[in-house]
Amino acid sequence: MSHPVKPRPISRNRLTSAIGPERLREISTAFAERRAGYSLESPFYTDPGIFAADMEGIFGQHWVFAGSIAEIPEPGDYLTVDYGPYALILLRNDDGGVNALHNVCRHRGARVLTEPTGTTGNLVCGYHSWTYSPEGALIHASAPGEAGFDKGCFGLKRAHSRVVAGLVFVCLAEEPPEDFDEVAQIFEPYLAPHDLGKVKVAYQQELVEEGNWKLVMENNRECYHCDGHPELACSLFPTWGLTDETVPTHLADVWQRNLSAEEALRTRCDRYGLPFEVVEELDTRVAGIRISREPLDGAGESFSATGRRLSKKLLGDLRDFRLGRCSMHLQPNSWFHFLADHVITFSAFPVNERQTLVRTTWLVADDAIEGVDYDLEKLTHTWKQTNLQDKNFVELCQRGAASPAYEPGPYMKSEYQVEAFISWYVERMKEHLA
């Protein structure tokens, strides 16, 4: 974490002026009246005013996963991230950390960096060549004869940033929520063995889903729909999500195989000192998290049809391919799979009330050679397909939510993480609007 320049607050009172006090009261009431255990009322998925409130109260206040250091491996490497009305630069600095800067020139408001990714020294705005240091300080404004102009007042606005286990987080609030430190301590031991400092980007996919960001997240937080994912189903035990009490008799054999694999994985994790137990605090803290390691079906190594490895190179110091998947869910916008041979990160970036960009990144060991150690098509197949299927599901819901015949429906037990996401969301918004 590095921000010598204190981040300046933005967006104070924006919401009130943007949507008016009366509408704000209506929105607050809608949050207060949310029925627990049920999906949200239609406007939460379709109303631009509630979207604006979400951008302020969720994406303007909480830690958001923005990418990994594998995307910006060297000092000066940057990536840009846009969500809702925000435009950000994440720039790798000389200390190994990341500077988060608003991508908005302080002169006339031009977007400073225009490429999605790249490498830069100082940041030069293309409009009038105002030049900022990597920390955002204005170091040159070519205005001849400009008296009384104080460059110190016109640095790029900064945001808070954190790098934990190679994941880059950004927070736009003046005072970020405090419990992220605790959460970082929770997930760091799970992720560190996969060592994101020694991986490279094999592939990145960007999908714009025609659905509200919360529908994207709800869809991610349950596998009740996983019959709709035939490729992914090869990796998951058919008993996934069931318990001793709920397993149907015809799956008794599978259940035993599942339990054995779980036991074997536990043993293996104990041997290598890898944490294994589930930590589930999705709606019991501000920086909501769920993390666990679980076995995969078949060979149990990776997301392939057979369960066999998809890259021949183990990550970090791992000594075994058969480590199942370590899965992490973070509120508000990200999920992850850490396997022995590769890592997949997912982030949902809201575009507007009815569109969301989902960015998926496949990471492999930095010494893995495409075509030799891994086949890119095979590496990405399962989740490319799964993402497309999920996009379809989200879009079906967005269309349905617009109908006056839509009313909130009940989340099933297997959808408890959806409920956790929604109740987390509602609580955060109630706090913000209070």
As a three-state string, the secondary structure of 117-140 is: EEECCCEECCCCCCEECCCCCEEE
DSSP string, 150-179: -GGG-PPPEEEEEEETTEEEEE-SSS--TT
Strand partners, 364: 200, 342
Which residue reads 């109303």 in tokens?
47
Parallel/antiparallel/unpaired status of strands 77-83 and 325-330: unpaired
Residue number, 246 or 260, with CB nearest to a second copy: 246
CB of 185 to a second copy, least distance (A): 30
Q: Which of 120, 104, 100, 102 is nearest to 112 (CA)?
A: 104
The dihedral over CA atoms of 340, 344, 345, 347, expressed in degrees to the nearest 10, equals -150
DSSP state, residue 12: T
Q: Is 180 helix (H, G, I), strand (E, B) or coil?
A: helix
At 188, is the secondary structure helix, strand, or coil? helix
CB of 142 to a second copy, least distance (A): 8
Whole-number minimum distance, CB 202 to a second copy, in Å? 30
Residue 103 or 235 having the CB closest to a second copy = 103
Comparing CB distances to a second copy, the nearer of 158 and 194 is: 158
| Residue number, 8 or 319, with CB nearest to a second copy | 8
CB of 333 to a second copy, least distance (A): 18
Nearer to a second copy, 129 or 267 (CB): 129
Residue 149 beta carbon to a second copy: minimum distance, rounded to whole angstroms: 7
Query: Least CB distance from residue 306 to a second copy, whole Å?
Result: 27
Please identify, using beta-carbon distances, which residue of 80 and 311 lies nearer to a second copy. Answer: 80
Q: Which residues bind a second copy (CB under 8 A)?
A: 10-11, 14, 17-18, 20, 22-23, 26, 39, 43, 56, 60, 85-87, 102-111, 114, 126-129, 141, 143-146, 149, 154, 157, 218, 224-225, 227-228, 242-243, 245-246, 248, 392-393, 396-397, 399-407, 409-410, 412-414
Task: Report yes or no: 407 and 389 within 8 Å, Cβ to Cβ.
Answer: no
Residue 27 CB, shortest distance to a second copy, in Å, is 11
Nearer to a second copy, 105 or 201 (CB): 105
Between CA 248 and CA 18 the distance in angstroms is: 53
